[in-house]
Amino acid sequence: MLSETALKFACSCSRKRVTDTIQLLGKADANDLLDEKGIIEVICDFCNEHYQFDDVDVAQIFALSIVPNGSSNTTH
Ligand SMILES: [Zn+2]
């Protein structure tokens, strides 16, 4: 029996978790990264899984997370 296999399966990362991380990063910093590289790539330290977010993905993350109360007057 190899315990390494168990360790790999213990990783609980997911695209949802990475999405939360980008939310914590903030919209401004996320957009800075997009400007720099064109894409945000997050690599899990534990299982080495790669998650990629382009400008559309990032826009969706912040569109979903920011719901201002009683703000019906949005300018664009
Ligand atoms: Zn992982």
Q: What is the Å distance from ligand 1's center to 31 Cα?
A: 24
What superfamily would CATH give domain 13-65? Answer: HSP33 redox switch-like (3.90.1280.10)
pLDDT, residue 14, reads 94
pLDDT, residue 2, reads 54
Q: What is the Å distance from ligand 1's center to 41 Cα?
A: 13
Domain positions in the chain are 13-65
Structure token digits, residue 71: 């703000």
pLDDT, residue 18, reads 94
Q: What is the Å distance from ligand 1's center to 49 Cα?
A: 6
Cα 46 to Cα 59: distance, rounded to the nearest angstrom: 27
Statement: residue 5 has pLDDT above 70? no
pLDDT, tens digit (0-9, with 9 covering 90-100), for 30-72: 999 999 999 999 999 989 999 999 999 999 999 965 555 655 5
* 41 contacts: CB under 8 Å, gap ≥ 6: 50, 51, 52, 53
Give the helix, strand, coil percentages of the chain, each rounded to 5.
55, 10, 35
* 46 contacts: CB under 8 Å, gap ≥ 6: 10, 11, 13
Q: What is the Å distance from ligand 1's center to 15 Cα?
A: 10
